[in-house]
Structure 1
């Protein structure tokens, strides 16, 4: 927004407050007229002094700042000392300026470019590029980013501000918490300082460095923490705990660092709200970052083991029973079991295809997303009681969680892909049947 500074038309000229002396009146000294004449001389003298002072003052300004142009039109040119940026002794204990944070850690921020190969409707491979951000967390080349930045990538490349690029390998990722750890073959890097997101307060200033749009590389934006502990539903339906900020976050910023003013990373920039079903107004200043405390232990786990250990695994795929279908067919709302891994704890507990999970340890479940959230409260080895509806009958089943491993996850992904293909084929065969109705929608993207 531009402001045009103009003279205020309501501003009055300076006025005197003395009472005027009328012609013929006697002055305080008893002499008519002379007082007035002397006053005129004094006023004229003051006016001359003011004009001379103005000329000298203008000349002084011109001499101090430099004057461009001549005649009655003058352009004044100013000078200033450049901002002092001292990054020689950053400890994370003293507050820094935004330029100091940028100078210290722009070299720790990376741009991430991925190649994703998919198959089109004719069965031909198609490649596409995606871009995001990340940041160095160890001197020997471990980099943290968002899972959605590298999801499905066949190749990953990271680039630094000095133009250096590296091919990166995926060490491991955690989809539910949207984090991934990459590794490049490099040493002597400058890692960021990991902070404590529990210490941040609403209203504190923060800055982000990243690659908005994948083109405006290594940009810094600044704002404040707008709220803490926001439960945000992501595009895939996953619910995450977030820091809310008005720092500008755009496509390509995902995976970049969010710094407090001590130069410590307190979050991973991940999402922004750009539209709302409840309002047609343009939405601005609603960005979200994953609190660093929520994922510290997971990152260490991934670096050491390649995945997050101790996560619970059920061995089923599910979809949500919508309320409309529940009412139409007299079914309970919940998570409909679409398939069961016969080698999993779900099969051992007696879960079957077609069961509807309506609760876990007394917590009501009305959707697959709620099953995801409830499962986060448990670890591998924990035993729970599932409330299940089967053919209209209520059952209680005891289940002891397995551990979610990459091997189990890969097998489950393959099973889900095959099941989705079977569903698509069945729907294609029955699409001309006017009485055909598939009540349960798409399969959930999560594995349980």
Structure 2
């Protein structure tokens, strides 16, 4: 046999063995017309992609051996796309996660489940960079992108490196496949397991962007009378122009700043009231469940 063919056969066998080893911990997640993948993170907990999980109705998980079990949502975080399902899984093996970030150009294997049947795809790491923040304000520990598309039923699937270690979860990004890294999954899933949710900052005000002579501001359209904005002295009709001397730029930018670490922080709010400048100190609260 030619050396090239021998090497190719060895690679093929290694890939098949890697996918087969991960299959027992993979599940299909069925929730109100939505189909996704997931993996057993702990003996009775499954991690899946939040975006692929329906907002209502029962949840069923299907295993590679054809069995199905009901599950309940233990917690979900829209900002990092991590959701946690609880089920009776005392006899199910879990998947250990490796916090290593795969380097640019390395091979990755996406292992998913479709109607309970394991499916796999080979990919290359097309981007491997440092921490970033999602459009919804979630802190992601590494920016990992793959050079392949992702079928909808594969959202929430495992991403394995060339050594067969699970390094993250595959989700659909804008025109690419993103990987939620193991470090993010461990951090978020642990909080979801304990608290059922991730704390987020809360201003207690309904805001609407408005054009100003110099830039833009956020007009207070409504107030939670028991919320942080009202306690700080803001009123309906006030226009927020800056937070901690940083000019207001967009609602999306503001929401990004209201992450878990913002709860309890005191911010200096510059605003206009009837066209006159004013400042208040606002203590960011925790968004109600």
Following superposition, the deviation at residue 200 of structure 1 comes to 2.3
8 Å CA contact 1:192–1:264 kept in 2: the answer is: no
Residue 62 of structure 2 aligns with which residue? 159
Provide Cα deviations, 1:14-48, integer angstroms capped at 9, x if missing partner. xxxxxxxxxxxxxxxxxxxxxxxxxxxxxxxxxxx
1:243-272 Cα distance to aligned partner (Å, 9 max, x none): 111133122221112121232222221113
Task: Measure, in 2, the Cα distance between the counterparts of 1:301 and 1:104.
Answer: 28
Shift of 1:273: 3.2
8 Å Cα contact 2:137-2:257 kept in structure 1: no
Aligned to 1:152, the other structure's residue is in SS state: coil
The structure with more radius of gyration: 1
TM-score (norm 2): 0.84
Q: Name the SS of the counterpart of 2:121 in structure 1.
A: strand
1:127-146 equivalences under 5 Å are 129-139=33-43, 141-146=44-49
Deviation per residue, 1:388-418 (Å, 9 max, x gap):
23333333221112233xxx23xxxxxxxxx
State the match for 2:20 in structure 1: 103
Between 1 and 2, higher relative CO (CA 8 Å, sep ≥ 6) is seen in: 2
Which of 201, 208, 219 does residue 119 from structure 2 map onto?
219
- Cα distance in 2, alignment partners of residues 300 and 399 from structure 1: 30
Distance 1:243 1:386 in 2: 36
Consecutive unaligned residues in structure 2, runs of 5 or more: 1-5
Asked if 2 retains the 8 angstrom alpha-carbon contact of 1:243 and 1:288, the reply is: yes
Report the TM-score, using the length of structure 1 for normalisation: 0.56
Q: CA deviation at 1:221?
A: 0.8
| Structure 1 contact 207–247 (Cα < 8 Å) conserved | no
Residue 270 of structure 1 is matched in structure 2 by 171
Distance 1:390-1:267 versus aligned 2 partners, 3 A rule: farther
- Could you say if the C-alpha distance between residues 195 and 367 of structure 1 is closer, same or farther in structure 2, counting changes exceeding 3 Å? same
CA distance in 2, matches of 1:182, 1:166: 11
Per-residue deviation, residues 277-321 of structure 1 (Å, max 9, x unmatched): xxxxxxxxx321222223422211110121224x43222333444
1:297 maps to which of 160, 171, 187 = 187
Distance 1:350 1:378, change over 3 A: farther
1:112–1:158 contact (8 Å) kept in structure 2: yes
Structure 1, 215-224 or 171-180: larger mean CA deviation: 215-224
Report the secondary structure of 1:104's partner residue.
Answer: helix
Structure with the higher strand share, 1 or 2? 2
Structure in which a larger fraction of residues adopt helix: 1
1:209 aligns with: 111
Residue in structure 2 matched with residue 41 of structure 1 by the alignment: none
- 1-side partners of 2:255 and 2:88: how far apart? 36
In 2, Cα distance between the equivalents of 1:316 and 1:292?
35
Aligned-residue offset at 1:143: 0.6
Question: Is 1:374 matched up with 2:257?
Answer: yes
- For the aligned residue pairs, the C-alpha RMSD in angstroms reads 2.8
In structure 1, stretches of 5+ residues that fail to align are 1-79, 86-95, 116-128, 275-285, 410-448
